[in-house]
Amino acid sequence: MEAINGLLLIGMLIFTANFVFVLAHVESSTDRTSNQILKLERTFPTNEVGLQNMKFRDHKRHSKILEGNTIGILNFSLNGASDPSLAGLYYTKIRLGSPPQEFNVDFDTGSDDLWINCKPCVGCPRLSQLGIELNLFDPAISYSAKPLTCLDKECPTYHQCANKNRSCRLSLNYGDGSLASGYYLTDMLQFDTILGPSNLTANSSARVIFGCSTHDEGLISQEGRAIDGIFGFGRRESSVISQLSSRRITPRIFSHCLRGDGGGVLVIGEIRHAAMVYSPLVTSNTDHYNINLQSISVDGHKLSINQNVFITSESQGTFVDSGTTLSYLATEAYYPLMEALTNAISGHATPFILNGQQCYKLSTSGIKLFPQVTFNFAGGASMLLMAKDYLFNYSLQDGISSMCIGFQRSNFASMTILGDLVLKDKIVVYDLAHQRIGWVEYNCKKN
């Protein structure tokens, strides 16, 4: 097992070809802990989709945001491309049941539940353009499966049950318009444990609550994005990370490092780095990963933006969301930033609008003309973005390379969403134990 170069992994769970939890001893100068790791892959449909379709999916996702001593690390190896003109997702393999059945599930920080498509199912996809084999979970062949009823207080919808004798119902609506419905059950999540520095392995398992979907609708049922289910990593008690951390099997912390050229690693647990900076999570009025953005600078010059636009409330704030491809800025922040970027390269590039996106005709070397952008957050933490962090090559115009700005004006005037485009080539840590998010520039190719 290889760790990330130059980093201290506080526990590890590594996923390679299979879903694998890894318990490994990692020593620091102050403590000694047993730890864990997990594997995630990223893929894209074989067909390229339009920018408008991608923005539509992001828009639907963001509308839902408005509604709504042995501890280790899970490490996911990521594959795929980072081109935002392709609709992609991150997925990992998991093993559920006894004997174990294997599934590919979408990793999602914007939702909480783990659910799998189950037999029998109406509307569940049978084919996928992602290059993966689709499967349906069969509770009948798992001797450890136990359906939950409304009498069970561990039922996630216990307080919504009108008839306590009925099954514990699953009904999930996602931001892209997708729907999964069925029932909840408990079964064994299978994983492998590495014991100490010897790297000897032993089979282990833990009983978890998850959803059995018997009816799918929307994008999750379409071949272009078809997957076996979704693995939610949200902040609520129903998420698997909350279930396992409450029993001290895994930590209440996870991290990712997305490569700029595609792929990377996702880690459940803490990655410590000397240069890591942190900003406090907003703990009120939200179940999402919300931090306080305070100002934006271009080449060190603070933009004139009314700070009230960054104040967190039920209808506005700044969210970190790995499920969003581009990044979306509150209206009052978007226009000053676009003006500053355009002024900085005036005379060196020809601006034009492509499908509502601000783009520029310029040579490949012209990317060096774009200025640095800095997001400044509560707690003194800043996120420095070079041109490569917010530009992408969308298409060719007249044989000349076209670079487009990855920032979009938010469909919800005062909402700011930091998506994959600005999160790549950084270690990002979601520290639920200390209610903070951290990040540091890092060459994710070293993973």
Residue 108 is among the residues annotated as catalytic for this protein: yes
Separation CA 87–CA 325 (nearest Å): 8
Residue of 58, 108, 176, 228 marked catalytic: 108
* Helices first, then strands: H and E counts in the chain: 5, 33
Instruction: Provide the 3-class DSSP secondary structure of residue 196.
Output: helix
In degrees, rounded to 5, the angle at the alpha carbon of residue 70 between the alpha carbons of residues 98 and 102 is 25
Do the bridges between strand 407-409 and strand 327-329 make them parallel or antiparallel, or are there none, so unpaired?
A: parallel
Give backbone dihedrals phi and psi of 28, rounded to 5 degrees, phi first. Answer: -125, -175
User: Which tokens go with 374?
Assistant: 């800095």
DSSP 143-155: TT-EE-BTT-TT-
Instruction: Provide the 3-class DSSP secondary structure of residue 225.
Output: coil
Separation CA 78–CA 276 (nearest Å): 22
Residue of 58, 112, 113, 321 marked catalytic: 321
Hey, what amino acid is at 66?
L
Strand ranges for 142-238 from DSSP E: 146-147, 169-173, 179-195, 200-217, 229-232
User: Which tokens go with 145?
Assistant: 């499966």
Residue 321 is among the residues annotated as catalytic for this protein: yes
Separation CA 326–CA 83 (nearest Å): 10
Catalytic residues: 108, 321
